[in-house]
Amino acid sequence: MSSIAAVVLAAGAGTRMKSAKFKVMHEIGGRPMISHLLETVSQLSPEKVVVVASPNMQSVQEAVAPAEIAIQETAEGTGNAVASALGNLEGANGDVLILYGDTPLITYDTLSRMIERRRKDTKTAAVVLGFEPEDPAEYGRLVADEEGRLSAIVEFAEADEKTKAIGLCNSGVMAINGEYIADLVNAIGNDNAKGEYYLTDIVEIANKKGLTCAYVKGDEKELLGVNNRVQLAEAEQAVQELWRQRAMEQGVTLIDPATVWFSHDTVLGRDVIIEPNVFFGPKVEIADNVRIKANCHLEGTRIGEGAQIGPFARLRPGADLAENVKVGNFVEVKKASIEAGAKVSHLSYIGDARVGSKANVGAGTITCNYDGYDKFHTDIGEGAFIGSNTALVAPVKVGDGAIIGAGSTISKDVAADALGIERADETQKPGWAARFRSLKKKITK
């Protein structure tokens, strides 16, 4: 089997995004859209991947590493963009895929079908990916016969009314025979309405050389090009629908799938139940038999088997929850390990801390981990009981089995099995409340 190379065009600034960020760096599912495409390409085990960028696109170059970078010095069309990459393709005599960094949803199956079709005949110079949208709009049209042979791609600006009536449109994606790509691209001219070098011209050029071209059809949904924020949202929705479907097929219950949002790297075990309105940021791993209750936000988190989270919980980066942990409503956990069977049931903040196994943290407990300059650690021992409305002023350690009285501010270590309590003496003044109300009534008359 001959080799595969891929050229990804990513030089567009994306002015319609109205952003200081380059278009292909806008995120879908927690990572740049171009990264989605490159992951799909990697499944083909390409010999080489070349990303065509404009000068000074350092963030793009960093995001696509270790792909090679070709610089398109001037924006003179897709033909010019591919010509910029020809030097990187020397020696690549197999198939060369031409892809677009702002078209991130194309699938492995579609690319495989294109390569398979291209390899049916060594005289097939190129295979173009076509599609039939509900509204052809200003897409270029594929002019082909009934046997699938492609005679031309006509850009909308160059098309007559007969050609515009064709429903088969050009996606821009191609698989080109590497033996011919340099000759075909170098033969492209710019005698057209825009004065640009159209990659689509290689179809007519190939036919004139006695070669053939063909097309395969793709799904309009996977060929969505992202040029503005509306299309970015459409792409996000398409990816989320795919991930939700995959999660349910793999043994996850989504009570209201449309309200659950995943990241590209979310890992879910079997028999996980996810209630409505749950958001997963990057780097979340969830073991089997976990229940995520409604209205939770998770990122950078590992959750052990049998745990229960929420509702209304926030797990921030570094939260590491062992098996059978309970983190309840309005609890925030950051950079903390909560060991097996421990409970933080409600209204608490646990940051830069360890909560030992089977410890119980009462409502309103706060680990005071930051002094305005540095972060400090709190250690809560195995089986400890932290009373409600406790402030643990780090660095501090509560020993195994210790009990902290409700309403305490603890700034010194508490020994194992000890009672730690810090309260001012309670003072009562008989009759004071009645006198206070009487005074207020006189003032308001």
Nearest to 174 by CA among 99, 66, 257: 99
- Interatomic CA distance for residues 201 and 184, integer angstroms: 9
- Which of 26, 36, 297, 346 is the catalytic position? 346
Structure tokens, 142? 């594929």
> What is the number of other CB atoms lying within 10 angstroms of the CB of residue 237?
13
Distance of CA 201 to the CA centre of its chain: 35
Strand (E) or helix (H) holding 60: helix 58-64
User: Which residue carries 């011209």 as its tokens?
Assistant: 201
Whether the bond between 46 and the residue before it is cis, its omega within 30 degrees of 0, is: no
- Interatomic CA distance for residues 175 and 96, integer angstroms: 6
- Interatomic CA distance for residues 111 and 107, integer angstroms: 7
φ, ψ of residue 291 in degrees (nearest 5): -115, 125
Name residue 195's amino acid: G
Structure tokens, 263? 């990241």
Q: Is the CB of residue 376 less than 8 Å from the CB of residue 401?
A: no
How many residues does the structure list for the chain? 445
Structure tokens, 420? 């730690």
Is 377 known to be catalytic? Answer: no
Strand pairing of 267-268 and 319-321? unpaired
Beta-ladder partners of 40 = none
Q: Where are the alpha helices (DSSP H) in 176-314?
A: 181-186, 202-208, 229-249
> What is the number of other CB atoms lying within 10 angstroms of the CB of residue 58?
10
Distance of CA 317 to the CA centre of its chain: 16
Structure tokens, 61? 């170059």
Strand pairing of 253-254 and 273-274? parallel
Strand (E) or helix (H) holding 5: strand 4-9
Provide the annotated active-site residues.
346
